[in-house]
Amino acid sequence: MNNQQKLLSMAQTAASNAYCPYSHFAVGAAIESEDGKFYAGCNVENVSYPVGTCAETGAISAMIAGGSKRISAILIYADSKTLISPCGACRQRIAEFSNKNTPIYLADKNGIISETTAGELLPAGFKEF
């Protein structure tokens, strides 16, 4: 299994554990960190809807808690027939730990269907100067 397949498998497993009783839209994210470790997260919703968190947020938290510092690649999987793409807030979170060329793989039921980069998804993100 190559690293991309491992990311897909981890994101699918995370999505299968998603807590999404309100949207019924399960998402999983998996990160390979620059130090060669792997982390996953899923969306965790809440009865107070805005309090829910995205899969990407969970995976980034797991990476930081696990002691890794930077994203080497991230894959986002949705248990759906349609393409998904990270929300604006998660684009900013991904950018915090990425380079502009860091690959972002987007996958659905058919497997990985699109590849983009952190720079493409957030071309004019907020940075401290």
Q: Which residues are catalytic?
A: 56
Question: Mask: binding to ligand THU, 1-20, rule CB under 6 A, as x and -?
Answer: -------------------x
Minimum separation from the CB atom of position 70 to ligand THU (A): 20
- How many positions of this chain bind ligand THU (CB under 6 A)? 15
The yes or no reply on residue 122 touching ligand THU (CB under 6 A) is: no
The yes or no reply on residue 106 touching ligand THU (CB under 6 A) is: no
Choose the binding region for ligand THU from 2-10, 32-40, 60-68, 84-92 (rule: CB under 6 A). Answer: 84-92
Nearer to ligand THU, 20 or 64 (CB): 20
For 77-88, give the secondary structure using H, E and C: EECCCCCCCCCH
Minimum separation from the CB atom of position 129 to ligand THU (A): 28
Q: How far apart are CA 71 and CA 95, in angstroms?
A: 9
Q: How far apart are CA 5 and CA 32, in angstroms?
A: 11
The yes or no reply on residue 68 touching ligand THU (CB under 6 A) is: no
If one counts every other C-beta atom within 10 angstroms of the C-beta of residue 85, the result is 13
Nearer to ligand THU, 29 or 38 (CB): 29
- Structure tokens belonging to residue 75: 């894959």
**30, 74 Cβ separation under 8 angstroms:** yes
Q: How far apart are CA 124 and CA 58, in angstroms?
A: 24
